[in-house]
Amino acid sequence: MAMHERLSFYAKRDSILHRLNPLTKLTLVFGFVLISFFAPFYWTPHLLILSGVIPLSFTGKVAREYFNASLRLILPAAGFLFIMQALFQPLEGEELFRIGFLHPTKESVMFAFANAMRIFLMVSSFTLFLLTTHPSELMSDLTRRGLPGQFAYVIISTIQILPQMQAKAQTIISAQRSRGLDTQSSFLKRAGSLIPLVGPLVFGSLVEVEERAIAIEARGFTSTKTKTSLHEIPDTNSDKMIRWILAALVLISLALRLWLS
Amino acid sequence: MAIVNLQNVTYTYPLTHSPVLQNINLRVNEGQFVSIIGPNGAGKSTLCYTIAGFVPHFFKGELTGTVEVADNESSKSNLHEWVLNVGLAFQNPFNQISGAKYTVFEELAFGLENIGVPRDEMKVRVEDAMKLTGISDLADRSPYSLSGGQQQRVALTSILVMQPKVLVLDEPTSQMDPIGTREVFGVIRKLAEQGMTVILVEHKVEWIAQFADRVIALKDGQILLEGTPGEVLTSPILEQSGFGISRYTSVARKAQGIGLWKNDQLPVTLDEAVEGFALTPSPSPRGRGEQ
């Protein structure tokens, strides 16, 4: 079970957001991001975060996980982006202060803030999406809508197999360390001593790929019949409505941008 | 009625010169349990792949002779249709997990999703197969969190749900500990009892002796011996040709040499050995201070 939890962000809850169709949630993410870039109003990204993503994290009953990820991962990255852009973006305008060659203007700070908020919106809404959507549900829904099965398989098996590869690498390292491999001295030496790890890991994985190909082939993976899905993934009228509204909003914000500029 | 029928099958892998299988003739009747034994490199796995259609459809190479299962010919079929006739499970349980599913139940449904089985039927088939192999309690676990024996039973079940006519098992217990081995053989025994046609490659001859209707000894791509487990597994030819034989057989053969084994038939399993030795009158308890 621990392995399962490490493999995806997904937090199992019962909420309206969890019950939404995966495509609807994906549309929400892309809709938010596109609107934040298209709409010609300065406050769009801020408004979307405050009145969109954050309330939705409560609706989805994942607010705790959402804030955890936001504060620890996304905010530092967005903050860094803000500082860099505010200091080095050469925008003309009212100079705020001057330290050496740095002379941020009010315009550059405003611009950097909006951009950082866009990034924050982008990553945090995607995080919210991952928190409330089971990966296999997403893939079976997309496959049902015409995404090639092979493509879906590659994505989802990669997510699952990475930790397994990690564990295998650890086993090989331990095995080689027990035979005298130096993995604890200087960086260069350690980097060099990783080379004997690559062979077994890569070739071992290639052999495994063949076996896995046989195993999934034995279960009709290349069957030409239309695939079915174990889980019924609801796609209600309100799902469709949300998607249409978002598409319309994206178009409206694009039109506004073109019209107002 | 022969459900599996191989006639004069010779196969050479691509980029190699000598054939791995030479002139194999093999008939397996419906409901029969056939075991294949042989030293490393004898062509056991290749034979499994041939019956399961992966030779030549997956591995390419040159195949002559005919491979028929349920009156269909392998070379005239597609692999994805063939796998519905013949189910294949092999050694490494870990590599048989699709990696695309998060629970055992989903994992078992994977094959059924691929071949387009409707949802309701899918659930029934998965639940029935889980009951048969005794893994119903694992349904909600992650396939990666299981023990080797459990994983192998999941792999077996994932093939069984496809309802193949023939089950080919390529050393399913070779990476198992004794507990895992017992678990997997427990499932195999059940399948045999239910009348499943099974072709099992296995080194553990003591287990084979309990299930197999027929044993085939393969060496250098050719059939060396064929017959009942009693005939084949105790044949002196096996030992001379580098096959692994049961320790009970070796003990009884030694005992036979010094007149302690009275039976004509040598044993393969512990029970047979005990039964056989029981026929030998016990030596008089000389030298033991009886009072």
CATH number at residue B149: 1.10.8
Please, what is the Cα angle at A145 between A14 and A21, to 5 degrees?
A: 15
Measured CA angle at B289 (ends B287, B291), to 5 deg: 145
Same domain, B95 and B223: no
Q: CB–CB of B90 and A222 under 8 A?
A: no
Q: Is residue B93 part of a domain?
A: yes
For residues B3 and B80, state if they share a domain.
yes
Give kind and range of the element (H or E) at residue B198.
strand B197-201
> A183-233, pLDDT tens digit by residue?
667 777 777 777 777 787 788 888 888 899 999 999 999 998 888 888 888
Same domain, B79 and B201: yes
Angle between helices A149-177 and A135-144 (to 10 degrees): 150
Domain membership flag for residue B172: no
In this complex, which of A216, A222, A230 lies closest to B122 when CB atoms are compared? A230
CA A105 to each of CA A83, A88, A109, A232: distance values in angstroms, whole numbers, following the listed order: 12, 10, 6, 54
Overall domain count for chain B: 3
pTM: 0.80
Q: What is the pLDDT of residues A140-173, one digit of tens each?
A: 888 888 888 888 888 888 777 777 777 888 888 8
Would residue B101 count as lying in a domain?
yes
Q: Same domain, yes or no, for B255 and B210?
A: no
Query: Which CATH number covers residue B210?
Result: 3.40.50.300
Structural domain that includes position B27: 1-84+195-233
Beta carbon pairs, A and B, within 8 Å: 124
Q: Do residue B157 and residue B102 come from a single domain?
A: yes
**How many angstroms separate the CA atoms of B242 and B234, rounded?**
13
Question: Which residues of chain A are at the B interface, by a Cβ-Cβ cutoff of 8 Å?
Answer: 1-4, 7-8, 134-136, 139-140, 149, 152-153, 156-157, 160-161, 164, 208, 211-232
- Provide the ipTM: 0.87
Same structural domain for residues B70 and B9? yes
Domain positions in chain A are 9-133+239-260, 146-217
Report the alpha-carbon distance of residue B94 to residue B86 in Å, rounded.
21
pLDDT tens across the length of chain B (291 residues): 799 999 999 999 999 999 999 999 999 999 999 999 999 889 999 999 999 999 899 998 999 999 999 999 999 999 999 999 999 999 999 889 988 888 999 999 999 999 999 999 999 999 999 999 999 999 999 898 899 899 999 999 999 999 999 999 999 998 888 998 998 999 998 998 889 999 999 988 989 998 899 999 999 999 999 999 999 999 989 888 888 888 899 899 899 889 888 888 889 988 889 988 888 776 655 555 444
Tokens 């086993």 belong to residue: A171
- Inspect the interface and report whether the beta carbons of B98 and A139 lie closer than 8 Å: no
Answer whether residue B38 is part of any domain.
yes
| Residue B171 forms part of a structural domain | no
Provide the token pair at B34.
Answer: 């056939």
- On the question of pLDDT at A6 being above 60, the answer is no
